[in-house]
Structure 1
């Protein structure tokens, strides 16, 4: 339990005015005079009443300050004010029996103002804590709120009348105040179940009661009542009755100095040669093995750290134990840190994937980080390129601008043109980060100086200076493409007019882009030299940002197509899909994924590889079904559904692969326009603008698996759908085995300014960890994932959202 849970504020220290929000009325207004008071009458011919809420503060049963009123609301049911009320009284002036008297008045009657109903609420709970969050107050119909103590109009529902609805509302209040942990997949299920319970209860009981919803101000910590001027540390008076006395202890949750001293003494006594001969007992060994299986996000307790330190010499031969051992070290103790560094040099060499953990912000020791870099030197170019983006982000955690990591990345860049080009772009994009711009500029200068000193280029055909200039020309090309996009976007009219403007610019004012004086290395694929843009084969996509689809002529006489996009942060598209495809293939599972190349050339611009394909929306519109589309390219009268068996197998495998990957990464905003299908049956996803569970649509399913995809497999009862689920579960368990690698890479991104990660890095990493369900064995993980698939297929609400999205696309 964290010490944060024990922290609190005292009401006498809060020098802020009492603030709350009057939200809305729930329930039906009385329709006849007998329903409320004899004076309650609706004016003839009026369709809705004119209501306002009067708010009065009472201290110990006496009015305090002037009442405050909301605006007049006459829009009809549901009446919604959503108005913030700020009283002149401050929190420090409140007493333990402070009450808020709220009365709803109707001014549309013929006889002046008539009370619709009133309710009184205590500002402090029975535990002397300030109430926070939404409160549902039941109104006493026809009565004005009574501020006396005790009140005759309590807004709290009597205990004997409380049912399932009241219990659910209390839980929702706690959830909104983050007192209940948020688990996205479980929350979605819970809220759906809650909605069904609410509908059932309302249909059974009806809206017989009128309630006012009030939202009280929330603070960072709980607020405990304390009168001003009272000695907080003085003991409470002892009552002669057996009354429970609440005492707030300000030291609860803080570290215990006695325990800290004992721990330090224990570690000092077990230093040196004494520990070398210690062997863990069977119980200790079981505990150590359990600790070694912890994910890299798990913080070790004091007892766990002590256990690892005590038996450190017994773990030297276990390479998986090093990262956990280094977490057990008290780095502020110079003697202990020195012993740990010496032992690290004698440890069994760890894997490259574990070395990434040592470059996370958790480890500040320069010796540890240098050791991690020495392990990375064993990685080949293909593997290093999978981690390059995250390693550049990890430069933020280094202690100096010229670190061992930055020098290593520069040296490896000089050996491979692809790595050098991507490394330069990753650095350039981070120039816009004000906190670390100097560091990235410094590394960029080191790369430039070292490359220019090369006697011959990486490929041996050009010297270092020419090689660097060829990389710099890439920046000029992207700058001109940004200019084109601005000009094209300013054109009024449909997509066809914008395409005409694009081709006009390329053939006229910017004709130099159709033939480069010197070939330029394509930023997406630096080993490809491009000589110019082909205007007639260039176009614009029909979407909100109008991305360019450009065809480049290559020096070898061929052509290549790329997409250039501005106005969107595409750095999230670069994350991990290619790595996951590699991990699956290493386990001999090729799911025919399409990890297209992506390169951000700025924080809101970049290039993407163009893969010839059609969106599912277009396919369903033109061919009515996925099967009809595949029959067009791979007909086989003897094959399943009239398609070749190979094509159907490719489709099933790719659906399975992306279902798992999009689930783990929490990719949102899935619709039929960013699900694409190639002629050979490969399905793939594009546009990862929402990750880690973020989604602009309400109640998204855990994974995007529309009914048309299931129908293409023969329906939920077919053998091909069963095979699809089998591939999903196999891929899920393979990626679970590499969960530490994926979590480490996300941890290296913790300091980045990529929106969905930067908003709350720790929470984002924990969301990914939750998706792996590391608490389950492989068999239970299979059952869990099959349930997820079934839930996603049966989700009906996203189909309604899909229809709305199609309408929006039609009008573009």
Structure 2
């Protein structure tokens, strides 16, 4: 069997349908003078007055008895000896979008000075024909086609068309067969010559120009004779003969046969129709983790009519019916509408378009939308319509990007030039363009270009999210990821960035849980490999690689020791003795070693551990307190623990550090204590140790008074409360800052044991095991403002309490202004394997947005926040929680 090469119609996804209108052949029957006397309007028709009058052809594609495109018309052309157009016409549809039932309806139009009653115009149908684009084998027609023209009819394009391009021969009697033998021979000879001509055009018969010219002239003569013979020999009943009751000319005459010659494009292979198979949309957009409990609604109550015996049927069982409309990311009708509207808009008109007052107000409203607020189709169309007007507004670029369907190549080409013309965007907008909803390389590359202008200190604030943003790169991006190249390049030039990029990647690579996709693990491994490869190109790259290797060895030894201490039996004293033994063991090389940048803070060079100055905490995981020796002859204390994933605490501290910088940029230093924390694996990590005391211990030591603790550490008899002014100011500011921040982040499980205070008056929170509104205790307050905290300020009647509220209001207002930045950072962490984000990935960022009250005006938000402070202070349930926690800890001892 010979090989059959073909292509599918879906492969021609960018090629529009073309057809060449070649020529019209046929003979006109003279109209009797008796008819012209009764119908004087006929004598003025162009085709009757002149056998070579100017006709034009319209082409339109139909499918399933419905028009698929608008009609396309040939250009005006004069004829001398024959009606020959020889014009290629393009129809507004691609071959890939053609259904199998597509038909091409061709109508030849005549002109008359009198309007036709059927068309209400001066165009009168000369004849029409309908040809399917695919044959019976679902193969696309190609090459020359000879179509029978039905006189005085408009091509209808219906499935059961009345204007077919080929009329099947009717059955004839034996007498008719004998009488028409001569006619059939002429027609058959003409058909044979046309088939030979088509083969020559297809390249099956070699060309011979001088001989082909002579043969062609002979063929035209035979064609004309065959047409006359076919018209005379058809012997059909004349349906009209230009009678008075048929409007004299609207019926087909028996000896008026016309053929319209057309030509379809020729392809190297046969084009076979192939339907587009769309993947079924998901039943629901809601992502449900495998380990989460899904609570379904109870089955509805069903009432059966009288006399219906249901037997033992299980009426409680529900049948889920698949609805293809459920879970669709977009609306096909809206997409079609958008394409139609934007195809009518041109750059030349849109450049000078200016909005009126109401439209400008609507544009300002759209631009004020937050990053999580959805834009309607009308909003997107409006932004696109006034895109040139918005060029100078840097906040409008993200809205324009959302208004473009980047999966449509045409729209993407139209929108691409605007990135170079637009005003420079802010960092928060650049982070939004790196989010999960934007995977087009051009969009992400523009965001990266903006990040390149940020310094290392600012970039370090977003590095944790930028690493997670690598998950949103287009699948198969590989070396074309602009974000990965940017991170690798910047990190190879900076020890600080390189240190944290290395450890962020190593933690993700070591995450083999079910919540970490294997492709993401491979992606992080490749970026780490590229980073190490890029390091070798720098002058100090080899030394930096050795540094990262030594850091890994140090942390591995510490993790092993922490496990040994944790799982060893005995009391705290025995565990501490075991820890000192491990640290002093020469095999571990921990007491003294060559200077090494501390992974927690690369600016600190450590060269050993003080063996005698260490401790083991009494909590369940028994973390170690280690004091490192530094090259500056100072101590640097850390807490190292195993058995706990510190990535959630790391995220919270990173956000607190960012908020501290945002507040400082507004000249508001709230004396926050964003201690350093670094997860070194999915079950180990280190954090900076800040000398401090929990509020529970401080109040117990000083007989329930936090103010007495502040007096003991910062005495000043000249002040009204006996506390040094700087210490009291630090305490008030830090209380205000952490109250606002922990409320925004929804930090839970707050009790007096994880609220700390340092001797200098710095108040801060630790242990962020519950965030985003989650709390293990019922009826927990939204904001943790314990009475002990207010007592340290002097009580609710003291001016310090009003000062605390003023600092809280200022911090609240400042952070609300940076809502877009904070929301975009949490949006980038949507796919991170962090416990409280993993519970409800899409809802995590929504919870942060809800606590910012962005839908409220500034005055209303301030009033409600004041009410929240008062409510939190007077919440008796918080006191009960603190009391229950105290006794639970007491019973453990």
Q: TM-score, normalised by structure 1?
A: 0.69
CA displacement, residues 68-123 of structure 1 (integer Å, 9 cap, x when unaligned): xxxxxxxxxxxxxxxxxxxx743488xxxxxxxxxxxxxxxxxxxxxxxxxxxxxx
CA displacement, residues 570-609 of structure 1 (integer Å, 9 cap, x when unaligned): 1122221100000000000000000101111112211101
Counterpart Cα distance in 1 of 2:284 and 2:497: 50
CA contact (8 A) 2:614 2:626 kept: yes
Counterpart Cα distance in 1 of 2:332 and 2:303: 45
Counterpart Cα distance in 1 of 2:459 and 2:824: 14
Residues 1:364 and 2:364 are matched in the alignment: no
CA displacement, residues 265-297 of structure 1 (integer Å, 9 cap, x when unaligned): 111101332211111111111111111111101
Counterpart Cα distance in 2 of 1:640 and 1:61: 86
CA contact (8 A) 1:538 1:549 kept: yes
Pairing partner for 1:309 from 381, 384, 396: 384
Match of 2:91 in 1: none
Pairing partner for 1:289 from 347, 358, 364: 364
CA contact (8 A) 1:569 1:689 kept: no
Name the SS of the counterpart of 2:603 in structure 1: strand
Pairing partner for 1:681 from 744, 761, 773: 761
Shift of 1:263: 3.1
CA displacement, residues 522-574 of structure 1 (integer Å, 9 cap, x when unaligned): 11111222112212111111211111110111133322111112222211222
CA contact (8 A) 1:352 1:378 kept: no
- Farther off after superposition, 488-497 or 628-637: 488-497
Match of 1:541 in 2: 617
Name the SS of the counterpart of 1:563 in structure 2: strand
CA displacement, residues 737-779 of structure 1 (integer Å, 9 cap, x when unaligned): 1000001111111121111112222201011011111112222
Match of 2:849 in 1: 769
Match of 1:80 in 2: none
Match of 1:422 in 2: 500
Pairing partner for 2:557 from 463, 476, 480: 480
Pairing partner for 1:596 from 669, 675, 678: 675
Name the SS of the counterpart of 2:696 in structure 1: helix
Alignment of 1:645-664 (within 5 A): 645-664=725-744
CA contact (8 A) 2:710 2:792 kept: no
Shift of 1:409: 0.9
Name the SS of the counterpart of 2:538 in structure 1: coil
Residues 1:606 and 2:830 are matched in the alignment: no
Counterpart Cα distance in 2 of 1:791 and 1:5: 43
Change (3 A) 1:297 1:649: same
Residues 1:401 and 2:493 are matched in the alignment: no
Please provide the CA RMSD for this pair.
Answer: 2.8
Shift of 1:809: 2.5
Counterpart Cα distance in 2 of 1:411 and 1:737: 32
Match of 2:18 in 1: none
Alignment of 1:485-500 (within 5 A): 485-500=562-577
Shift of 1:476: 1.2
CA contact (8 A) 2:334 2:377 kept: no
Change (3 A) 1:64 1:600: farther
Counterpart Cα distance in 1 of 2:327 and 2:457: 48
Name the SS of the counterpart of 1:560 in structure 2: strand
CA contact (8 A) 1:669 1:697 kept: yes
Larger Rg: 2
CA displacement, residues 380-406 of structure 1 (integer Å, 9 cap, x when unaligned): 111000001100110111122331111
CA contact (8 A) 1:522 1:528 kept: yes
Change (3 A) 1:487 1:594: same
CA contact (8 A) 1:554 1:560 kept: yes
Match of 2:607 in 1: 531
Counterpart Cα distance in 2 of 1:500 and 1:582: 42
Alignment of 1:212-251 (within 5 A): none
Pairing partner for 2:397 from 322, 329, 351: 322
Change (3 A) 1:91 1:776: same
Counterpart Cα distance in 2 of 1:252 and 1:514: 64
Residues 1:513 and 2:596 are matched in the alignment: no
Counterpart Cα distance in 2 of 1:556 and 1:774: 48
Counterpart Cα distance in 1 of 2:682 and 2:491: 23
Residues 1:672 and 2:747 are matched in the alignment: no
Counterpart Cα distance in 1 of 2:591 and 2:742: 38
Name the SS of the counterpart of 1:500 in structure 2: helix
Match of 1:640 in 2: 720
Structure 2 unaligned segments of length 5 or more: list them: 1-280, 286-295
Shift of 1:63: 11
Q: How many residues align?
A: 588
Q: TM-score, normalised by structure 2?
A: 0.63
Counterpart Cα distance in 2 of 1:6 and 1:359: 25
Counterpart Cα distance in 2 of 1:781 and 1:763: 22
